[in-house]
Amino acid sequence: MKQSVVVVGHADADGHLIAEQVRRNLALIETFDVSTVVDPARTKDHNAWLHLDTITEIDDADIVFFVDMMFAPSSFVEEARALVDFVEDHDDKRFFLIDHHPLPLRRLAPAENLRVLYRPEVFDCAVGPRSGMMVAAALCEGQRTNVADIKEPVHDALAMGVRRAAAIGGPLPGEKLSALMRSDCWGALVSLGEEDREFHRLPRGRRAQSQPRSKVLTSLDKIASEMLAPVGARRQDAINKRRDAMAYDIDIAEERFAVEGGHRRRVQNVTVQPRDLETILTILEVAALALTRTPDSTFTAKELIKEAKKIAGDDLELREDDINIVLHKQGFLRKVGTQLQLR
């Protein structure tokens, strides 16, 4: 039986990228039906915590992931209380919160059906494999030195393109930009980042209504609108335009990075990582988060496997050998004596 999973992300540049990375990884799990909510009106800033009832997609979800949804230093007490009250009112659901901003961990602890993870590096602000999307997300947030060892020029151009596409006041933030990412339109987003800046003056990250739209921005708006139109209303040339928009030397979403000996490296041939391994990596990280009641929580390999099957279903085949692969290659688990702990 399918479980409905919704990923709710902040409506800024890195928020769009993080939400799409998490969506893709969770969608690897066959028992999950995953969707995203990135909305410039409903998930724009920390005030979203005070208005979670407007995110009606949560009503039909079994599992909810909040990603990159910061708490404000001046109002985190009220916001944390609002989140705790909301998740306690929905005790039939499981909630996960992952953020690279500091979190009010103590104030969120009372919610039994909420698990929280603070990861200060944007690149790590996800569950499952990290692709070039997370490199671009780190660049969008100004964490250039954190990804200097794996960054390529294409990531810089993509980060600029996504910042321009996500600018409030433009035609793309939210559903349209999410659709473009979901359809792998990385080439067009890179082209947007490479355009002359005269078309993209963004004071305070906003796009003035009077500013003329560039050729690429206009094209992306049209492509996204056609993608989101009812199937019968789509024109055949929209499919061709989408293919053109997807073409690029590096497939951003298919890039992979491994951790060995504490060092990160690009995996040159992603075909050596079968799809089922990526599924295992994702569900184990979700299960580890589910077992992490407090930052110092520990658990056994058997408990981790049991929790993973509880979340994804008993049909999921897992062995302790799979966990050993995670320990040596991915770096989100560490050993504490005979126990395991989420990094």
List pLDDT tens digits, range 154-163: 999 999 999 9
Residue type at 50?
L
Sequence-distant (6+) residues with CB within 8 A of 53 are 86
Tell whether the model's pLDDT for residue 241 goes beyond 70.
no
Q: What percent of the chain has pLDDT over 70?
A: 90
The strand order across the sheet containing 94-99 reads 32-37, 3-9, 63-67, 94-99, 114-118
Q: What is the pLDDT of residues 19-74, one digit of tens each?
A: 999 999 999 998 999 999 999 999 988 889 999 999 999 999 999 999 999 999 99
**Which pLDDT score is estimated for 273?**
45
pTM of the model: 0.91
Q: Long-range contacts made by residues 47-56, C-beta under 8 angstroms, separation at least 24?
A: 49/79, 49/80, 49/82, 49/83, 50/78, 50/79, 50/82, 52/82, 52/83, 52/86, 53/86, 55/8
Q: Are 83 and 70 in contact (CB under 8 A)?
A: no
Tell whether the model's pLDDT for residue 311 goes beyond 50.
yes
Q: Does domain 268-342 have CATH number 1.20.1290?
A: no
- Measured CA to CA, the distance from residue 266 to residue 269 in angstroms comes to 9
**Which pLDDT score is estimated for 249?**
55
Q: What is the pLDDT of residues 279-302, one digit of tens each?
A: 888 999 999 999 999 989 999 998
Domain spans, the chain? 268-342
